[in-house]
Chain A
């Protein structure tokens, strides 16, 4: 009844090509951003920031990057963790080796380094596809795991193998409290989400989707497969690299290579599949599902247990958590193979007609 585009007429192509063509969508998203930036810092406690919100934001950004490559360009990757690691370690090296390096610039340069490696490891995509490409990108993962563990130069010859960033400071603003860290991440995520949306609705995004949907036809209408695929690898790795730098600098503070293991790559790929391939919103849904659900189950199960008079042991909770989490993944994939983003758009479609069935 309230969510309807009646009376909103478009009189120019510019108006028709906005990100949110329905005014209610626009208000909803701006409201959400305002809530996240203004209300959440007042409502959330330190645990919420550290355990839920910051990981959620950073992994959303990484999932967004993976989604550009997997969801929009159709090139599967299992090397996302490696590109996160490259972003984090490159940003770290820019910070420690260059005096007076601004924090944000170091992170962006970390992203650029990841993009360069992304192009390198994207080259196999010109010849192989599908599972074979997944295996080829897995090589990046193992190479990085090894390099950051064994080559001392990358970690500035740290004796313990772990590296840390002393102080996060941007233009005199010292980022040390969880709230500030959260806002710092939020700014990155919002900016990058809009960049991703712009890219996917512009010519380059159409090139990626054309390559994904029908590569022969794409080539026949003049799209160069090499440019389209490698640009997707570059942009995707840039996003993932910046997310890696955020993960290391802001979330962990000090880290070792295990923080970016192959588990992380799988986790990011699952976020994209569950959230919805080829959807910006889906990346956030996927990250929320994978980050928040285990924590939610952890809190919720003892409550449920006490309700029916059963005391659940800690080990029992962690087992049940895995079981329920796994079965929920299977449930969502069966009910909606196109991910949570599709459920979201179906819900919006129904809401447009509500209270009428048709």
Chain B
């Protein structure tokens, strides 16, 4: 509890983005797979509305960290405080119910389904009609379907993918698939959005588009964003605070400027003199 109190003062970042209370606090997280230590004693927090980047060389444990946050992996040690309450061990769909959404590094869309259907699955938790109503396509089921379709269309407009809304996602180019992946996560109206390398493998224009979407999401919806990215230019430009991992340990944490000048971080990326 004292950790949250210490951090409760709301601040404004250099980017002018409002930054609220600590929403997710990770304390001394350690994750092992057999003898392999993926994460060792990592602590950092995420404030409401901020863009929080996690960076580090390959194999540093960034994706594992995201998987811990949304309940795919269960750390052996450490505590996760979500809005001041200690989180019990839980399954991914429970994290989704608490408002944690994510996109995937290697796109994990539902290939056989259309763009609309993919994004509609993101609304799944908000749809309450039972099996029988759905089977008969009765009034309530039909109305619910249309209410959520309207929400989905807003996301389609936001991401500028109107022209492909009925295309099966398997047939789409990579950059658009990444966008649909983002749309599916947005459809959950998440409080925390975890983005696992949203710009990997994109060209400059696609990266600019994606940056714009991320900043718009932050500005318009106030969504807290946790971002893993390898493009340092992007990270330094759009994030409020950066945490740096290396070999499963935290080696830096702070604003982009602080991290840039941190000697451990420079060593991890450029190597140290011997």
A residues sitting closer than 8 Å to B (CB atoms) are 12-14, 16-17, 195, 198-199, 202-204, 206-207, 209-210, 212-214, 216-224, 231, 235, 278
Contacts and interface: CB of A to CB of B under 8 A. Distances in A.
Contact of A210 (B121, B125, B134): B121
Given A203-B129, A220-B96, A221-B96, A213 B135 contact: no
A206 B152 CA distance: 14
Contacts of A210: 110, 113, 121, 124
B135 A198 contact: yes
- Highest count of chain B CB atoms <10 Å: which of A12, A216, A231, A235: A216
B117 A206 contact: yes
A204 B134 CA distance: 8
A203 B102 CA distance: 20
B121 A223 contact: yes
A6 B136 CA distance: 30
Given A220-B70, A221-B184, A222-B124, A204 B131 contact: yes
A226 to B, nearest CB: 10
Contacts of A223: 93, 121, 124
Q: Chain A: interface secondary structure? A: helix
Contact of A207 (B91, B101, B121): B121
B3 interface: no
Contacts of A224: 93
A273 to B, nearest CB: 15
B150 to A, nearest CB: 7
Interface stretch (B5-13, B139-147, B238-246, B257-265): B139-147
Interface string B205-229: 0000000000000000000000000
A231 to B, nearest CB: 7
B32 interface: no
7 contacts: A198-B136, A202-B129, A204-B131, A204-B134, A206-B121, A209-B117, A224-B93
B117 A217 contact: no
A218 B121 contact: yes
Contact of A219 (B92, B127, B137, B153): B92
A68 to B, nearest CB: 11
A16 B145 CA distance: 11
B149 A17 contact: yes
Nearest to A234: B131
Contacts of B70: 220
Given A17-B149, A202-B141, A206-B113, A220 B92 contact: yes
B134 A219 contact: no
B108 interface: yes
B72 A206 contact: no
A231 B134 CA distance: 13
B110 A14 contact: no
A202 B111 CA distance: 18
Interface string B87-125: 000011101110001101000111111000100111111
Contacts of B111: 213-214
Given A17-B146, A195-B136, A199-B134, A217 B110 contact: yes
Range, interface on chain B: 35 or more
B22 interface: no
A220 B124 CA distance: 11
Contacts of B109: 213-214, 217
Contacts of B95: 220
Contacts of A17: 145-146, 149
A216 B124 CA distance: 15
Contacts of A217: 104, 108-110
Closest 6 A/B residue pairs (Cβ) = A222-B96, A217-B108, A213-B110, A202-B134, A222-B125, A198-B137
A231 B132 CA distance: 12
B188 interface: yes
A193 to B, nearest CB: 12
A12 B101 CA distance: 30
B53 interface: no
Nearest to B148: A203
Nearest to B100: A220
Given A209-B117, A278-B112, 11 more contacts: A13-B146, A13-B153, A17-B149, A199-B135, A202-B145, A206-B120, A209-B113, A212-B110, A212-B112, A220-B93, A222-B96
Contact of A220 (B102, B112, B127, B144): B102
Contact of A209 (B91, B102, B112, B135): B112
B185 interface: yes
A231 B117 CA distance: 19
- Highest count of chain A CB atoms <10 Å: which of B91, B102, B104, B121: B121
Interface in B134-183: 134-137, 141-142, 144-146, 149-150, 153
A214 B110 contact: yes
Nearest to A235: B131
Contacts of B146: 12-14, 17
B147 to A, nearest CB: 9
